[in-house]
Amino acid sequence: MSWEWILFATLAAVAIASAALAISLKNSLACAMSLGVSFVAMSGLFALLHAPFVAVIQILVYAGAILVLVVFVIMLLNLPAGDPRLERVTKLRAVLAAAVVVPLAPIAIFAIPAAAGAAGRDAAGSATPLPDGFGGVGAVAKSLFTTWVYPFEIVSLLLLVAMVAAVVLAKRKI
């Protein structure tokens, strides 16, 4: 057991457990907090995958901006505790969820990795060394501003549209 393996197992367990808590806790603020723990653990997994730039952006964007916004909205709405409309899992809803999740789970967890030939690549993937500076700011920037420059520009336009939409939607009188 290498230290990398132990680190992976710990981070994966934390990410999965806190994501499960985030969808099962009653208090939405507690959900948001455990979602934050999940985001930070995911950032550690990203760093283990030799993606230091994306790991830092994960902390900045998800654990920083998105989570703060969610917590801000929860505080702003100040929902009464134990609203009966909020959590009442009907039988129909449980059956529907089971009908979707029971076939989906084996596909997502086993069939897709098998189709991608994941197990066969485990040995080869870690045997050959990665190029120098893999996943660093320079390498990612080079890819982003050459191959991916049009998607990058389109996303900047999308962010502008989203900003205007957020202002219009949250305004008191439209």
Partner 1 sequence: MDLALAFFQTSPAAATPAGAGLSAYFLVSGVLFTIGVLGFLVRKNLIVLFMSVEIMLNAVNLALLAVSRFVARTEDGHVLVFLVMALAAAETAVGLSIIIAVFRIKRGVSADDLTVMNG
The residue type found at 25 is L
Q: Which of residues 108-167 bind partner 1 (CB under 8 A)?
A: 108-110, 112-113, 116, 118-123, 125-127, 130-131, 134-135, 139-140, 142-144, 147-148, 151-152, 155, 158-159, 161-163, 165-167
Range 26-45, binding partner 1 (CB under 8 A) = 28, 31-32, 35, 38-39, 42, 45
Asked if 81 interacts with partner 1 (CB under 8 A), we say no
103 binds partner 1 (CB under 8 A): no
CB of 85 to partner 1, least distance (A): 4
Both tokens of residue 84?
């009966």
Shortest CB 29 distance to partner 1, Å:
9
Number of residues that bind partner 1 (CB under 8 A): 96
| Binding of residue 91 to partner 1 (CB under 8 A) | no
Task: Collect all residues with Cβ–Cβ distance below 8 Å to 28 and sequence separation of at least 6.
Answer: 74, 79
- Binding flag, residue 14, partner 1 (CB under 8 A): no
The reply to whether 75 sits near partner 1 by the rule CB under 8 A is no
For residues 22 and 71, the answer to whether their CB atoms sit within 8 Å is no
Please write down the long-range contacts of 156-163, taking CB distance under 8 Å and 24 or more positions apart: none
Shortest reach from residue 71's CB to partner 1, in Å: 10
Cβ contacts of 61 within 8 Å, gap of 6 or more: none
Q: How far apart are CA 83 and CA 59, in angstroms?
A: 32
Q: Is 56 buried (19+), middle (13-18) or exposed (0-12) by CB count in 10 A?
A: middle
